[in-house]
Amino acid sequence: MSFSDLFFLYLFLPVCLLIYYKASKTRTRNLILIIFSIIFYAWAQPLWVLLLLLSAAVNWMLALQIQSRKSPDRQKPFVALAVIYNLAMLLAFKYTGFFAENLNAMFRLSLPVPQIAQPIGLSFYTFRAISYILDVYWGKYKAQRRFSLFLLYLSFFPHMTAGPITRYSSMETALTKRRATPSDFYEGLLRIMVGLAKKVIIADHLITIVDNFFGTGLSSLSMLGTWYTTILYMLYIYFDFSGYTDMALGIARLFGFTLDENFRYPFMCKNIQEFWQRWHISLGTFFRDYLLYIPLFGKRRKYASLFLVWFCTGFWHGASWNYIIWGLYYGCFIFMEEKLGRKRLKAWPTWWKHLYSMLVIIIGQGIFYFENTRQLGSYLTHMFGISMAANGTGFTDIATWTSLKNNLFLIIIAVVACFPIVPKLKEKVTANRSDTVYTAAKVAAACFCVFLLIICSIMLVDSTNSPSLYWNF
């Protein structure tokens, strides 16, 4: 079950809300959310519910053990045990096949390569558990004594399968005391509809175009066609993931939870460091807070830690070399920006800063797409025109121009939607200080979002369910 599923939109979520608000006590409401979260997760993978429950039980008990020890030396074994357990779960289910394949290739072994189905959302709830354990150890908050509340934090279905990686501090108060106001419902519903439109109207159509070009092989693809397809893939990832996140935050708000933002118009960035302050924010801040400042070989090593962070960022996304290359690729540009310094970067012309950032991001998203390293190499030769000289492929081709012409309206909508137009309009309406204008703007926004919902619902009637790309991570 995914958020862009008619069953979820018109049955699961309404029934959950109805039963939830029929209950008056917070404890009962929490139990209802836990039950619906388990059902939501079990809908796709019933067996792996046991793994989720085991993870919740182990991390809950270890956190209590950490808190009960007053001395850091007595706490450390339990912290190490919790981190080892969580990372072991990730390695076992996500990376075992990758390691076996590479050991076979490097040492000419014949190790069996297990085909293990990865539990949905494993990377997300594992990182939530690790952040919880470390924050308890560092004394940022007390360990939760009630297992049901910790289980709700870990399994809450809006952020269960594809994030954001919510910190316990963001939900701690709301777990025991929360209230959804009419404003929460209004903003939450609008955000759900906008997120759904991002996913169904924009992302799902963009990936169809991308697959038509990249999925049939690269041999006949021109240089311009390669850039065109990569740009569409970049837009697809943004609208797919940010659309899912919008829906997650909107759904959470219906229940009185305010989750942290995960995207802030990333293509507005002027450098790569800023891009990662705007893109998948919860993942970037996780590695910054829990890995960047860890002493390596006895002391802090700034640049070694930086590349370790970006290696882990890439590897977190999947058990494939292209993700590692992708992570280190961004690490190299952030290292370069660190060495240049803020003053030099600030002195660049604004147009050049935007152009530089977009070129780096576009190429990076192409690396992200191709898990097969041979295809990745072929892609790069097409991207930089090497195949034009080596294989005689053209600079442009008819298929690219035809696709651009046929999908121009969709592409324009996607590009325009990357800019913070709605926040700017909200600012103007708020600054107007007119009740009439404010009310008219709210009614117009609601009508437009309902229109988007109707369009999306019609599109979903005969379509195959397409979960978010980040379900795979």
Cα torsion for 456, 462, 464, 469, to the nearest 10°?
-10
Helices then strands (H, E): number in the chain? 24, 0
Rounded to an integer, what distance in angstroms lies between the CA atom of residue 203 and that of residue 185?
25
Residue from 280, 317, 354, 382 carrying the catalytic annotation: 317
Rounded to an integer, what distance in angstroms lies between the CA atom of residue 283 and that of residue 29?
29
Rounded to an integer, what distance in angstroms lies between the CA atom of residue 33 and that of residue 459?
29
CB neighbour burial string for 286-316, b if at least 16 within 10 angstroms, e if fewer: bbeebeeeeeeeeeeeeeebbbbbbebbbbb
Of the candidates 361, 378, 383, 405, the one whose C-alpha atom is nearest the C-alpha of residue 224 is 383
Rounded to an integer, what distance in angstroms lies between the CA atom of residue 123 and that of residue 126?
5
Strand partners, 299: 296
How many angstroms separate the most distant Cα atoms in the chain?
Answer: 74
List, as own/partner pairs, every contact residues 68-76 make where C-beta atoms lie below 8 angstroms and the sequence separation is at least 24, other chains included: 75/137
Neighbours of 194 (CB within 10 A): 22
Question: What is the separation of C-alpha 243 from the centre of its chain, rounded to a whole number of angstroms?
Answer: 10
Helices (H), 23-121: 26-42, 49-68, 72-90, 96-107
CB 323 within 8 A of CB 317: yes
245, two tokens: 């996140």
Rounded to an integer, what distance in angstroms lies between the CA atom of residue 146 and that of residue 189?
31
CB 310 within 8 A of CB 331: yes
Strand partners, 296: 299
Strand partners, 342: none
Interhelix angle 223-254/398-406, nearest 10 degrees: 30
Rounded to an integer, what distance in angstroms lies between the CA atom of residue 130 and that of residue 124?
10
Residue 354 annotated among the catalytic residues of the structure: no
CB 450 within 8 A of CB 444: no
| Catalytically annotated residues | 317
